[in-house]
Structure 1
Amino acid sequence: MGGKMASAMKRKCVIDVDIRHDSVLRVANATHTLCIANQRFSDAVKLSPHRINRSNAGGGVPFSKAFCETIGYAVEFMFGDVFQSGIKVITDFLYQKTLPADKMDSLLLRKLLDFVKDERRIKVYHEKLSGTELAVTLTNHLFGKLATLGSYLVDRCDAGEKEVECSCIDQSCETAGRYGDTSIGNIDVWHGDVDVLINNDLIVQHLKDPPRSRGENESSPGGQTPVEAKVNCSVLAGNPHITAQTTVFSFLQKKTHPERDHFLIPCFGVGNSTLVVVFYDSEHDVLLESTHIPLFRSSGCDEYEFNDTAIIVSWLTVNYKYLCSGVTEDMKSFKGDFFEDVREKMKIYEGELQLGNIAYPVWNVLKKSLQFSSFLEEQEMKLVAIIHREMREQGGIE
């Protein structure tokens, strides 16, 4: 009897999973790019460890003025190695064609499969969007759709009374976001606002100096369009605010959720039609930067499909609480040297960071009292009298 029930349940799972063969192939190929250990495979998504050479993390500096000089190690890891739990969920499903027995894994997998089937297209003039507009649009159409909960906060600066709007072309598009306080940190160390905060769990931040794809100002090899071309330069060098935000948020998550198995916390960096994921582990002091992944693939006039690899990476990252396995033992050897850089302020990073209600210094608007002598007061009165006299005499001459 038990065997028949198990078979029936298995058949039911197979029937419930309605996904086309071409979609299975695309998901498999995209997942493969996160796992393949082949230096010659140019589309492989890798992780590069970095160490901090110098920074101003020990001062009360806002993210907008963060300085962080990083140096990359001469080693790379595969992206999939920090998401072993998530990779297993996908691979087991693709191999067996059945949903996981675990309810959360099943929910997460359905989120991915539903997106792949129905929601992968977007109409947008992405080249004309500001950094924050791009972050909001991607959160609304990609990251939020793949998360267990799609609600998010957008930096309230300059928001006024307006509601959050998506910058896609679809006039009927609705958003699950609202403007609010996205500040994190402590005024005595790195602190400030982030563009988008998803469920208080994940930062989405635009890149101030996005990497330029091959083909942006010249024809791309192989007939690639600019949105499909691959980029290979480091984003950390030109975007120290991303390092600062990711590092602060990792310590904050460690303080808020000490019960978690690990504290490798990701941050989405978006810009120039590419996606990058930066990680920091505040327990093992490991800083990682992912390969830059093309976000879009053209599918018509001002219409794009999200890149298959970008979808899988986004799904894993936005659900990192469930799908991320943390740094491997090999990764722990490549320290980020942040602990050493801020040893005098380490207590603040470990115990005094906060989410929201960051009180910003107001040096620029400090009201100063004016001091002057009785001599100057007397001379000023004489000068005023002289000015009035001369003006009257000038008027009389005219």
Structure 2
Amino acid sequence: DAGYATGHFGKWHVGPVKKDSPTNPGGMGFDEWLSHDNFFEMDPVLSRDGGPPQKFYGESSEILIDEAINYLEKKKQAGKPFFTVIWFGSPHEPYSGMETDLALYRDLPQKYRDVEVILTSNETGERIKRSQREVLIERYAEITAMDRSIGKLRNALKTLGLRDNTLLWYCGDNGTPPSGLTESRFRGFKGKVYENGIRVPGVIEWPNVIPKPRTSTVNTVTSDILPTLCALAGVQIPEIPLDGVDLVPLLTGEMTKRSEAIEFWSFRGSRFYKGPPKPYIDPKFQKGTTPLVKKMGGLFTRNFRNDHHPEIRELDFMGPRAILSDDFKLVIDGDKGTGVELFDLKKDIGEKNNLAEAHPDIVEQLSKQLRDWQGSVMNSLMGRDYK
């Protein structure tokens, strides 16, 4: 609506990317896409604008960036502003890498050799045990290729004369899995609501607005991207409940505290209900077409499900959950038997000192905020916000 060309490149993970899927990138507003239903490794198989999957030979991050640069060049020639989304497949197990990148890490400490980790086999797609040292070599090679690709994109923006007035926003989507985790000052890992599961890198480059490098201690989350980009594009935010806040004041150096808490919840889903699920979308449109190395449900592809939630029950509010304010973080059932935990992350980033007994008033306040937010999520899940 604001006149931007829109393109998506890489991992989609919202639904199949095939042409007849109502949840493909086109169904979500993208004019063009070169995408995969889920994640991918070397020599990825991708679909262009919903067409038949096609194998691209080479390192996947470099392939995505080359395609994205071609897209940007066309939009510049057409005099069209652009919104371009690049979701890398890296780093993600099962890991792989180019030999030149793997060679950079052959001298990793031998202490990791005797540590066994569980991950997917590139050969069988099944879960196997491997030496963490070999896994780390491959993981770091993927990160190196991704880093190099981002540098290529930045150079291309400069060459095209687009760098100064292009907002380049990089962030991770979740924490490090056990297979890639060694020493860390954070607690937990991917899938947990402790810091190693939710704290990820966030880097924004926009020379016209951020002329000098700086860091911020304000907590932000990927839910902030939508209201921020709407504000920058002059588009009104949809009048439905949304998480996230407008970060434009943060970009301009005016925001020093966050106005709203950030919540996290490992929702259990509808699997505890008896009877067949009622799908929102015909299952035939939910079948994946782009192949995976990892076997899922006995298939080398990802089939998706979007089922109606039958009713809201007290059981639905269970599961690991957390709320992060400017001063404290409340964690409920973060691990088996941990119960209620309260941390002051400014003094205890490792989440070692539980302050729940010392501050029952804060626990009560944050618990209510968290429960209210869960209720809002459940209302959305039931479709009450979208009628």
TM value normalised by structure 2: 0.23
Higher helix share: 1
| Structure showing greater relative contact order (alpha-carbon pairs closer than 8 Å, 6 or more residues apart) | 1
Higher strand share: 1
TM value normalised by structure 1: 0.23
Larger Rg: 1
